[in-house]
């Protein structure tokens, strides 16, 4: 994977950020989701480099080879605000102050927070399989709770660590197909999720989501803050986001000034299952500055 990419670990005091990067041209930061690592982009990132972009693939706080602080009772240590701050600081250490930003799944919440808190850093924003956490919770019904039950299970204290930690392969393995993912991507994922500290950090990500992250989003709405960067939405047509919330563009038009988007014919992990379509959507969006 990632032939020609460099690997760095950026030390930021209480955290460290593992980053893969390569290429020259406009910088692009790709943020992964749960329970993946930056390796989820292994089919997209090289194509973007070939298309003339400088590409950065970090592991989120506590995921993969990145490290974070110990959890805090209010979960702020693993909030999207804290994780977004990691990305801005790490990119600064790498000499990049402004970039295109892409987030998938949990990474999309970090990308959203980064765009709201650090608008000067984001040129264009792409969010994949995402509406704001507070919007999901405002619409939560029995169907949502049944489909996305893991949000509420992961938020419980201590029990998820014991359940998942007892047999991480049994928990994560059935949904991690090495043929679809790529063997090296799969191996990196399974190595990561076998570490108790990584499991704890990923669960804290979800606990923050239902508490401090939701509160931060509600504060944004009360202050009428909106995303300034042009926003592209990509959602998986073979997943359930559109079924649960309708057209996600309608929701995001209340959060951002300029919104466009379309579905991708893939399951949830679009970058692994439909890398050519994802790459083309990103390349086109990043190259059409004068049209927005």
Active site residues: 105, 268
Angstrom distance (rounded) from CA 47 to CA 41: 10
Give 285's contacts (C-beta < 8 A, 6+ positions apart). Answer: 124, 126, 230, 232, 260
Angstrom distance (rounded) from CA 33 to CA 269: 9
Q: For residue 147, what is the enclosing H or E element?
A: helix 142-147
Angstrom distance (rounded) from CA 91 to CA 109: 18
Distance of CA 51 to the CA centre of its chain: 22
Q: What is the DSSP letter of 146?
A: H
Closest CA to 118 of 93, 96, 88, 77: 88
Checking DSSP bridges between strand 6-12 and strand 15-22, what pairing results, if any? antiparallel
Burial of 223 (0-12, 13-18, 19+ CB in 10 A): exposed
Extended strands (E) in 13-98: 15-22, 27-31, 54-58
Closest CA to 252 of 153, 158, 116: 116
């Amino acid at each position: 994977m990632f032939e020609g990419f460099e690997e760095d670990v950026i030390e930021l005091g209480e955290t460290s950020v593992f980053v893969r990067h390569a290429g020259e041209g406009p910088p692009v930061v790709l943020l992964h989701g749960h329970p993946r690592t930056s390796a989820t982009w292994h089919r997209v990132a090289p194509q973007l480099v070939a298309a003339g972009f400088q590409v950065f693939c970090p592991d989120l706080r506590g995921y993969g080879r990145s490290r974070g602080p110990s959890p805090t009772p209010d979960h702020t240590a693993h909030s999207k605000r804290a994780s977004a701050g990691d990305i801005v600081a790490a990119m600064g250490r790498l000499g990049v102050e402004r970039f295109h930003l892409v987030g998938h799944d949990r990474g999309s919440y970090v990308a959203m927070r980064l765009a709201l808190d650090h608008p000067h850093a984001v040129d264009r924003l792409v969010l994949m399989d995402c509406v704001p956490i507070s919007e999901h919770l405002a619409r939560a019904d029995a169907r949502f709770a049944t489909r996305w039950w893991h949000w509420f299970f992961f938020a419980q204290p201590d029990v998820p660590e014991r359940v998942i930690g007892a047999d991480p392969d049994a928990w994560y393995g059935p949904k991690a197909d090495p043929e679809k993912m790529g063997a090296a991507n799969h191996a990196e994922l399974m190595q990561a999720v076998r570490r108790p500290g990584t499991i704890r950090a990923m669960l804290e990500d979800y606990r923050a989501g239902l508490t401090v992250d939701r509160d931060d989003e509600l504060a944004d709405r009360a202050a009428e803050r909106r995303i300034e960067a042009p926003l592209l939405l990509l959602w998986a047509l073979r997943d359930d986001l559109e079924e649960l919330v309708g057209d996600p563009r309608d929701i995001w038009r209340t959060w951002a000034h300029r919104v466009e988007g379309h579905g991708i014919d893939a399951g949830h992990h679009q970058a692994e299952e439909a890398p050519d379509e994802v790459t083309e959507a990103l390349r086109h969006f990043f190259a059409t500055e004068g049209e927005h």
